[in-house]
Copies of this chain bind each other. A is one copy, B any other.
Amino acid sequence: MTDNYEDIGFGAHKIGFGERPGIAVVDFQTGFTDPQYTLGGRPLVERAVENTARMLEVARAANVPVATCYTAYSSRRDAPYWKIPTVLEEFHHGHPCTELEPRIYDKDYDVVFCKTGPSIFFQTAITQFFIKERVDTVIVVGCNTSGCIRASVIDAFSYGFRVAVPEDCVGDVEEGPHQANLLDVGRRYADVVTLDDVLDYLETVRGRNET
C-alpha cells in the first residue's frame, strides 16, 4: 500500500476514547466460532473469541454495557440477497448455528439482538440501548473483519460515536482482507487498537465508576 491517502490527510489523527464505552459484539455465534460449521472456526476468529472473552469479563465488572448479536432469518424469504449459500440455508431461527458462543455470551448481563444485515446497528435496537446508557465510545469486536465488522464500524461512526476496533478481537477467514479492512477503517472512521489498549481504558472507566 502506498501513502497517497496519507498525503491528503486520511488517518491524520486519532479519535481517542471518550467517557462511556459500550461493547458491540458481532456474530460470535457457533456458525462462525465452531469448526463443525462451514463458515466456522477459522484461526483468526478463534483468537478473537479468546481475547474478547477476556475483555468482556473486565467490561462487565466495570458495568459497561455489552450488546451481542447473531444473524438469523425466519426463512430464505426474509433474508437479503446474500452471495454466501450457507447463510441462506442455515442461518434460520432455531438452527444451532445461530446460538451464541458460550465463551462469549452471558445471558444475565448482555443485551442480545437478532440482526439481519451485516451491521449490528442495521435495524436493531443497539442504538437505542447505547443512547439510553449514554455511551459515547463503541468498541467493535467479533467477526468477520471484512464483512460484518466493517459494516458495524461504519454504522457506529455514522451514528456519531467514537469507534475503536481492537485488531486482535476481530477475526476473518484470511489475514489479507482482515488487514486491508482495518487499514480502510483506520484511515476514516475508527482507531485501530489492541486488546491491551482496551483493557487499560476499561480499568480507567472502572476506577472512575467506583469513585
Which chain A residues have a beta carbon within 8 Å of chain B's beta carbons? 1-2, 4-5, 8-15, 38-39, 65, 73-75, 77-78, 80-86, 93, 110-112, 114, 116-119, 122-125, 127-134, 136, 146-147, 150-151, 154-155, 157-163, 173-174, 176-177, 180-181, 183-184, 186-190
A83 to B82, CA, bound (A): 31
How many copies the complex holds: the figure is: 4
A138 to B118, CA, bound (A): 18
Contact B188 A84 (CB under 8 A): yes
Look across to chain B and name the residue whose beta carbon is closest to the beta carbon of A152.
Answer: B154
Look across to chain B and name the residue whose beta carbon is closest to the beta carbon of A132.
Answer: B160
Contact B123 A124 (CB under 8 A): yes
Contacts of A5 in B (CB 8 A): 173-174, 177
Contact B8 A38 (CB under 8 A): yes
Other-chain contact of A111, B77, B112, B125, B134 (Cβ < 8 Å): B77
Contact A78 B154 (CB under 8 A): no
